[in-house]
A and B are shown apart, each in its own frame.
Chain A
Amino acid sequence: MALQDKYKGLTDAAVAAGITDLAVREQDGVLYIDGTAADGAAKDQLWDVYNQIDPNFASGDLVLNVNVSVDAAVTHAKVITQSSNLNIRKGPGTDQPIVGKAAHGEVITLVNRSNDLWWLVRTNDGEEGYCYAQYLEAQA
């Protein structure tokens, strides 16, 4: 219960931001908050609140797993790396060979999102392979 109090500001922010499927529970000294955000901005806002309550996330007492919902109809995604190119790999994993690259800011075609972490994509040059989904932002 103490952790729920510590992170009440975050839970309140999640409710206010309209996070769906929100679940908040404590287990073995860790608070787990799961949910789905409508967009990346809503997710980032929660992380800002988290960072204010627990600067630099140093306490190790919260796992904040809020994903951004992606409409099934979405067919394109933008590369949102910090600045570098995004590797496109033969299979889902960094142990897989690189078969191509997508530039920062480039919009590429989504082929399959059945793997949560690695999306199958195709570039405008026709290169096809897997990209790390966290570096892709679905285009409405």
Chain B
Amino acid sequence: MSLVIAATIFLASCKPKDSAIQAAIQAKEPAGIVVAVEKGQVTLTGQVLDEAAKASAEKIAKEEKGVKSVLNNLTIITVDKPVVIAADDTLIKNVADAAKDFPTVKADVKDGVVTLTGTIEKSGLITLMQHLSALKPKKIENKLTVK
């Protein structure tokens, strides 16, 4: 009897702790996946590119020693969300606001397409592109000469 108890305690102490399991799985999963472990039950959250990546992440978790179950809450990134494109009158106003601080840039809008001509400093280009991309254009035709 005492042997059984001793063996049980021994086995229990051999089981990897949640924190150790969590660290081991987290190290093996691709970046962007969040691993949580409670009493050997693993929960995966985050976004992945496709079903294969979702299955692969689950497999990694299941193969880890001490894992009892895996709750796969990973979501797959959206590919069917409609693309929203701003109407020209809204876009023209917003593009004018965004381009105001770049006097060497000319920005034209037609049918949702923003066409940029003129010159710009390299450092300003990212800022301008970031601002324009937030305005829901159909396309940004960048014909700027970068200095």
Contact = CB atoms under 8 A, between A and B. Distances in A.
B83 A56 contact: no
B146 A56 contact: yes
Given A17-B32, A24-B78, A60 B142 contact: yes
A117 B83 contact: no
A102 to B, nearest CB: 15
A115 B33 CA distance: 33
A23 interface: yes
Interface residues of A, number: 39
B140 A134 contact: no
Interface stretch (B4-12, B36-44, B92-100): B92-100
B51 interface: no
B134 A34 contact: no
Nearest to A117: B94
Contacts of B49: 11-12, 15
- For chain B, the bracket of interface size reads 35 or more
A58 to B, nearest CB: 6
Given A16-B32, A117-B134, A25 B80 contact: yes
Interface centre among B48, B100, B133 (most CB of A within 10 A): B133
A47 B130 CA distance: 8
B136 A25 contact: no
A20 B75 CA distance: 10
Contact of A51 (B83, B93, B126, B140): B126
B123 A15 contact: no
Interface in B73-128: 77-81, 83, 93-94, 96-98, 100, 122-127
Given A18-B32, A23-B81, A47-B129, 16 more contacts: A15-B30, A15-B47, A22-B77, A25-B78, A25-B79, A25-B81, A25-B83, A28-B138, A51-B126, A56-B142, A57-B129, A82-B123, A117-B97, A117-B134, A134-B130, A134-B131
Interface of B: 30-32, 34, 46-49, 77-81, 83, 93-94, 96-98, 100, 122-127, 129-131, 133-142, 144, 146
